[in-house]
Amino acid sequence: MLAKRIIPCLDVHAGRVVKGVNFLNLRDAGDPVDIAARYENEGADELVFLDITASHEERDIILDVVARTSEVVFMPLTVGGGIRTLDDIRKLLSAGCDKVSINSAAVTDPNFVKEAALRFGSQCIVVNIDPKRVPVAGATIPESVPEHLRVQPRPGKNGEGEQVYWDVHVNGGRKPTGLDAVEWAKEVERLGAGELVLTSMDADGTKDGFDIEITKAVSEAVNIPVIASGGAGHPQHLCDAVTAGGASAALAASIFHYGEFTIQETKEYMAQQGVTVRMVEQTAPSQAE
Amino acid sequence: MIGIIDYGMGNLRSVQKALERLDVQSEILSSPNELKDVDGVILPGVGAFRDAIGELQRHDFVNAIRETVASEKPLLGICLGQQLLFETSYEDGTYEGLGILEGDVVRFQPEPTIKIPHMGWNSLKIQQQTPLFSGLASGDYVYFVHGYFVQPKDSSVIAATTTHGSQEFVSAIASGNVYATQFHPEKSQRIGLQLLKNFANLVASRNFAGTTES
């Protein structure tokens, strides 16, 4: 039976893993290769590097990080952050990454998703969708958004209060697009995306749990795997994302980075709750003989 | 020396890096003539069947691979590389494969509770004792990403099966010197490296046997 995947996400800035709150007060947290190897040993099912390097000149550093990581870590590796051209994707794949995740560029130019999937195969094209609940009153929808993709009234958090829009945001959650999260998910599937990462801007950073309603709505609307992201603070939250939320995988960052729970502990908890997860023996990866 | 066939489809470097990690010598082969100089062959592949068989034909690899198999050198097909070994694929049309093994390549049937492609870690049910699985056991998890799978005519070639939803499909093949996996051993951590090591040992032992005979 297919296991639910646990995917740690590492923020990488200029070739180093960094920790911080909302990209502020970044602190060096180590070498990506070392941390990747540790997570593999703990039982991570995949790994995501989010390249938050701002300066253009330093962007190629991630290629070296990917190349070094893929020499010692033998699990799927996804890279996201600032991917805008087919050449960006080609360089990352030849460096050794398995999938790329596209966010803002998919909204700016949906055809980019289609071209990328045709060129490199759907299996390596992940699209990030960052929805945020915004009040129906006062929301402006750009004229350029096609009718069938426009935000439509959806339930508020926990079904309480007024109906809201699940508005897809870009630029790290700062900019609304007027795209409906569920309709946009169906659209990028149609364009050829092989997988979705769904990060609720309302839940992200709260540690109060994933946005289950949005996760469930999107998981049910598409046939490709959905990775729930944003809000993990306890192993129970990851259980909820893959059971009630219907996600194929859960992505988390701070819960693992700050040592609150190891991946092993998280998986043991999930297994006790009846979730199918892949348990690994705690051995060094080099001991395969 | 293990040759990895490069026909423009697939993440060859991942396979090569895994072999490097195991201290197994390998080289990327971009011309069919080079197949003569290696002791074993890996046929990797990601993407669409139609494009892959088209690229194999364009690079003149089709007959060269059939001849390599006939010469009894061990061959390991990975993912699409497993599917290409069969006669017919029904991925977005009907396409002829290498025909080294008898059978078809078909798509998963939709089910309410499953996603297609089948992506992620799933467990093996070992159906055949083969040296390829030395050190592996039923229940071991390996990494998959595919929407199609093989249906061999001769069930005796089935080495392992895996279940997605209610569908049990063939996840590995062992038939004489032909081996193949639907999963990606190069992305399956310790279990995957073990399998690649086993394949390298098969190649080495055959090579050793060949040397002593001559």
Determine the residue type at B191: I
User: Model confidence at B211, in pLDDT bands (50, 70, 90)?
Assistant: very low
Task: With respect to residue A285, please indicate whether it lies within any of the assigned structural domains.
Answer: no
Contact: B121, A122; criterion CB under 8 Å: no
* Chain B: residue whose CA lies nearest to A95: B13
* Chain A: residue whose CA lies nearest to B48: A121
Contact: A288, B110; criterion CB under 8 Å: no
Contact: A96, B194; criterion CB under 8 Å: no
- CATH (domain of A14): 3.20.20.70
Predicted confidence at residue B203, as pLDDT, reads 96
pLDDT beyond 80 at B9? no
User: What is the C-alpha separation between B134 and A69, in angstroms, rounded?
Assistant: 27
Mutation for A interface: B22, B143, B162, most A CBs within 10 A: B143
- Looking at this predicted complex, what is its ipTM? 0.91
Q: Are A279 and A261 spatial neighbours (Cβ–Cβ below 8 Å)?
A: no
Predicted confidence at residue B209, as pLDDT, reads 57
Contact: A1, B188; criterion CB under 8 Å: no
What is the domain partition of chain B in residue ranges?
A: 2-213
Of the candidates A230, A207, A208, A206, the one whose C-alpha atom is nearest the C-alpha of residue A218 is A230
Distance from CA of B33 to the nearest CA of A (A): 25
The pLDDT of B25-34, averaged and rounded, is: 95
Catalytic residue among B118, B146, B164, B186: B186
Q: What are the angstrom distances between the C-alpha of A25 and each of A21, A232, A239, B156?
A: 7, 21, 31, 61
Distance from CA of B159 to the nearest CA of A (A): 18
Percent of chain A scoring above 90 in pLDDT: 76
Q: Is A146 on the interface with B (CB under 8 A)?
A: no
Residue A11 annotated among the catalytic residues of the structure: yes
Q: Are A165 and A150 spatial neighbours (Cβ–Cβ below 8 Å)?
A: no
Q: Are A101 and A197 spatial neighbours (Cβ–Cβ below 8 Å)?
A: yes
User: What is the C-alpha separation between B91 and B54, in angstroms, rounded?
Assistant: 14
User: What is the C-alpha separation between B23 and A270, in angstroms, rounded?
Assistant: 37
Q: Are B173 and B159 spatial neighbours (Cβ–Cβ below 8 Å)?
A: yes
| Residues of chain A found within 8 Å of residue B20, distances taken between Cβ atoms | 71
Residue B102 annotated among the catalytic residues of the structure: no
Predicted confidence at residue B115, as pLDDT, reads 93
pLDDT digits over B135-163, tens only? 999 999 999 999 999 999 999 999 999 99
Is-cis flag, bond preceding B117, omega within 30?
yes
Predicted confidence at residue A29, as pLDDT, reads 84
Give the number of beta-carbon pairs within 8 Å between A and B: 98
Task: With respect to residue A162, please indicate whether it lies within any of the assigned structural domains.
Answer: no
pLDDT digits over A215-266, tens only? 999 999 999 999 999 999 999 999 999 999 999 999 998 899 888 899 999 9
| Residues of chain B found within 8 Å of residue A284, distances taken between Cβ atoms | none
Distance from CA of B15 to the nearest CA of A (A): 10
Q: Does the structural domain B2-213 have CATH classification 3.40.50.880?
A: yes
Q: Which residue has the higher pLDDT, B194 or A286?
A: B194
Residues 154-193 of A with CB under 8 A from B: none
Q: Give residue A259's domain range.
A: 5-128+187-272
Q: Name residues of chain A where pLDDT drops below 70.
A: 20-24, 282-289
Q: Is B123 on the interface with A (CB under 8 A)?
A: yes
> How many domains does the structure of chain A reveal?
1
Predicted confidence at residue A21, as pLDDT, reads 62
Contact: B188, A74; criterion CB under 8 Å: yes
Q: Are B183 and B171 spatial neighbours (Cβ–Cβ below 8 Å)?
A: yes
Q: Alpha helix (H) ranges present in chain B?
A: 12-21, 49-58, 61-70, 80-83, 189-213
Predicted confidence at residue B213, as pLDDT, reads 41
Predicted confidence at residue A283, as pLDDT, reads 57
| Residues of chain A found within 8 Å of residue B115, distances taken between Cβ atoms | 223-225, 248
* Chain A: residue whose CA lies nearest to B146: A123
The pLDDT of B107-125, averaged and rounded, is: 94
